[in-house]
Structure 1
Amino acid sequence: MNKAPVIFSFFSGAGFLDLGFEESGYNIAFVNEYHRPFLETYIHSRQVMGIPEPRYGYHLCDITEFEDKKKSDSLSLLIQETKKEGNLVGFIGGPPCPDFSVGGKNKGHEGENGKLTATYIDLICKQSPDFFLFENVKGLWRTKKHRAFYDLMKERLQDKEYVMTERLINSIEYGAPQQRERIILIGFKKNVLENLGIKLDSSRSLNDTFPWEEHIKYRMENINEVNWPGMETFEENIERTKPENIIEDVTVNYWFKRNDVERHPNSNQFFTPRAGLTKFLVIPEGDDSKKSYKRLHRWRPSPTAAYGNNEVHLHPYKARRLSVAEALALQSLPKEYELPQDITLSNAFKTVGNGVPFLASKGIAETILDFLELDKNG
């Protein structure tokens, strides 16, 4: 078996995570998302980019519906069919995370979104994919009351013969122009690893052997050592010389130019202020110290591209909020990726802010292939 795996995607959003896997050679065969604007964006973006529809289609429904016997059995048949063809099957997904976010609802596994994490783990345990990827906010991993729930989920997966490895990643490590930490948990069936000749024992765990750093472009210690520019007085459309010895390709300005954001199809989609421009004119370039009204600095990475909970990110050198095109660039997406023109602004920014940065997804996807020693072109 040397083919790249077949992926069943859950909580797919607009497909940023999936796109990273697709671009690495995986076959995205099954897509599940419950929020219609996300799925419509997923479908639109792939039509524009010329990517074929998933073999098993798009499924607009809540993941809890797969607990229903009819849907559960149908999913099982698709997985069995795929495995019979000699393919590894992987599940990937990032359940909605505000219930585990310190800056969000923080209700944990009792919240409506938090419960979906347990449902996703239930689905993995029942459907038994060859491997899985689980993505969530660092609060699930670092906050004591949430960590107990997270550890319980891992125990359930261990009982189903999964061996796991985890890492708190920062998307900037993979070359994305933003500081965005997320916990990534990856698990493989023991028998799958044995069949591939990957042997683990008490002296050699998956944490010891999984090549997490193989596709990391920049180490955090090197990023933190950079003398990034501080705050500077805002002047509209002023030019600023690039400072020496920064990492240019993780800066806001680099990605705005790379994605040609001013001519992107989503370039004119941005919120306009109700109370005039006064506030937009006084916040210095690079002042991202407050929860809201952060003005990005063109020669620095962006803070986490999250646009909910009244987070407002301002353009470095224009007196306005970021456009959808600029937000997509900060998620390190290919410039060909676009959102539908008829999407509402609220849904557009929710769509962008909820996604996994493309380059982080691609780096993790390639790391899994390297570990399994599978053909990226399979």
Structure 2
Amino acid sequence: MSKTPVIFSFFSGAGFLDLGFEKSGYNIAFVNEYHRPFLETYMYSRQVMGIPEPRYGYHLCDITEFENEDKSKNLSVLIEETKNEHNLVGFIGGPPCPDFSVGGKNKGHEGENGKLSATYIDLICKQSPDFFLFENVKGLWRTKKHRAFYDLMKERLQSNDYVMTERLINSIEYGAPQQRERIILIGFKKIVLENLGIQIDSINSLSDIFPWEKHLKYRMEDINEITWSGMETFEENNERIKPEKIIEELTVNYWFEKNEVESHPNADQYFTPRAGLAKFLVIPEGDDSKKSYKRLHRWRPSPTVAYGNNEVHLHPYKARRLSVAEALALQSLPKEYELPQGITLSNAFKTVGNGVPYLASKGIAETILDFLKVDKNGKTNSC
């Protein structure tokens, strides 16, 4: 294969996962998202960054609509057209995850969001892309209640000639300044592996040969050995000396400065408290022990960027909640990425919190290219 893969993206949100693939050289040709504000944000951000529109356009609809005969046929035509041009076709997507999250709805595969995971797997089996990526919360993989459903999905994929590998990643391993664990399942068609010269006669898993660790910037054992700053009395607009022997690139402060958050177009977008500032003035810097009203510490990583279910995250040294610009920085996005000014704060923080950290998506995308022996310029590397 002489070309970088062409991607059909589902549950695209505002495109954080897609952006990592785009910046690694993939061609994002097809984008599907159900929630209009998210798709509008996707389109706006790409326009600002000068990224061309997808070849096959944006599709604002529920993924279940691709089960409809006409839409299914149209999608098949686009995939066939792409394959006829000697391109590998990949599906990427992270179905909504609250039904598998311990801190969310926890309804599992019977919940409305849980059903979408099964729909995505059905779509993969029906449309037969050369490879796929499935991303979800660790609860789907680690919780006994949901693991049986996850294993059934894998069995279905295996029966459709996919050979897979999975890993529970933490985004901080890729250089993102937050602790965020997600299960990543990646599968390739057997014929694709055969064309790569990979012997698959007796292989049911690629876990022993897929280069998961090649693009990790840091290892969890090293990160866990660091003595990060603890809780310190909150003082508005104060300064704190950077501790020694930490990884500065993984800190909140580093990314706030790197992305110039105070002059970012989304700098002034943040929720203001209804009951005054009293509570914001007493929570120590670094006190993220509670589910809500977590105050970040400037010299350590952020907890998982999640702002639903009343999960309030406070600025380390300002008496306010985080801004949209700051939340984008914690998702390790390029500073030129921005949200439209007209988006509501609820939709803004929801789309930021739902996204895959950019550096994690980029690292995974590059790992797949290495496995496929394709470089970023679209050329096949010799074995």
Considering the TM-score relative to the shorter chain, is it more than 0.5? yes
Q: How much has 1:2 moved relative to structure 2?
A: 2.1
* Conserved 8 A contact 1:3-1:376: no
User: What is the SS of the residue equivalent to 2:227?
Assistant: coil
**CA distance in structure 1 between the partners assigned to 2:185 and 2:2 by the alignment:** 23
Q: How many residues align?
A: 378
Give 2:178's aligned amino acid: Q
Q: Which residue of 1 aligns with 2:160?
A: 160
User: What is the SS of the residue equivalent to 1:92?
Assistant: strand
* Conserved 8 A contact 1:180-1:304: yes
User: What is the SS of the residue equivalent to 1:288?
Assistant: coil
Q: Which residue of 2 aligns with 1:31?
A: 31
Q: How much has 1:31 moved relative to structure 2?
A: 0.1
Q: How much has 1:303 moved relative to structure 2?
A: 0.1
User: What is the SS of the residue equivalent to 1:55?
Assistant: coil
Alignment of 1:8-23 (within 5 A): 8-23=8-23
Q: Which residue of 2 aligns with 1:375?
A: 375
Gaps of 5+ in 2: 379-383
Gaps of 5+ in 1: none
Q: Which residue of 1 aligns with 2:361?
A: 361
The Cα offsets for residues 337-364 of structure 1, whole Å up to 9 and x where unpaired, read as 0000000000000010000000000000
**CA distance in structure 2 between the partners assigned to 1:258 and 1:204 by the alignment:** 43
Q: Which residue of 2 aligns with 1:218?
A: 218
Q: Which residue of 1 aligns with 2:267?
A: 267
Q: How much has 1:202 moved relative to structure 2?
A: 3.5
* Conserved 8 A contact 1:200-1:206: no
TM-score (norm 2): 0.98
Matched, 1:293 2:303: no
TM-score (norm 1): 0.99
User: What is the SS of the residue equivalent to 1:208?
Assistant: coil
Give 1:83's aligned amino acid: K
The Cα offsets for residues 137-174 of structure 1, whole Å up to 9 and x where unpaired, read as 00000100100000000000000000000000000000
**CA distance in structure 2 between the partners assigned to 1:113 and 1:64 by the alignment:** 12
Q: Which residue of 1 aligns with 2:75?
A: 75
The Cα offsets for residues 50-87 of structure 1, whole Å up to 9 and x where unpaired, read as 00000000000000000000000000000000000000
Alignment of 1:184-263 (within 5 A): 184-202=184-202, 205-263=205-263
Matched, 1:343 2:355: no
**CA distance in structure 2 between the partners assigned to 1:9 and 1:198 by the alignment:** 26
User: What is the SS of the residue equivalent to 1:8?
Assistant: strand
Q: Which residue of 1 aligns with 2:280?
A: 280
User: What is the SS of the residue equivalent to 2:3?
Assistant: coil
Q: Which residue of 1 aligns with 2:110?
A: 110
**CA distance in structure 2 between the partners assigned to 1:203 and 1:228 by the alignment:** 42
The Cα offsets for residues 86-131 of structure 1, whole Å up to 9 and x where unpaired, read as 0000000000000000000000000000000000000000000000
* Conserved 8 A contact 2:163-2:204: no
RMSD, matched Cα: 0.8
**CA distance in structure 2 between the partners assigned to 1:204 and 1:347 by the alignment:** 41
Q: Which residue of 2 aligns with 1:134?
A: 134
Give 1:222's aligned amino acid: D
**CA distance in structure 1 between the partners assigned to 2:145 and 2:222 by the alignment:** 32
User: What is the SS of the residue equivalent to 2:166?
Assistant: strand
Q: How much has 1:204 moved relative to structure 2?
A: 8.9
Give 2:341's aligned amino acid: Q
User: What is the SS of the residue equivalent to 1:209?
Assistant: coil
Q: Which residue of 1 aligns with 2:145?
A: 145
User: What is the SS of the residue equivalent to 1:272?
Assistant: coil
Q: Which residue of 1 aligns with 2:325?
A: 325
User: What is the SS of the residue equivalent to 1:168?
Assistant: strand
Q: Percent identity?
A: 87
**CA distance in structure 1 between the partners assigned to 2:194 and 2:202 by the alignment:** 15
Matched, 1:92 2:92: yes
**CA distance in structure 1 between the partners assigned to 2:359 and 2:203 by the alignment:** 33
**CA distance in structure 1 between the partners assigned to 2:330 and 2:205 by the alignment:** 35
Give 2:180's aligned amino acid: R
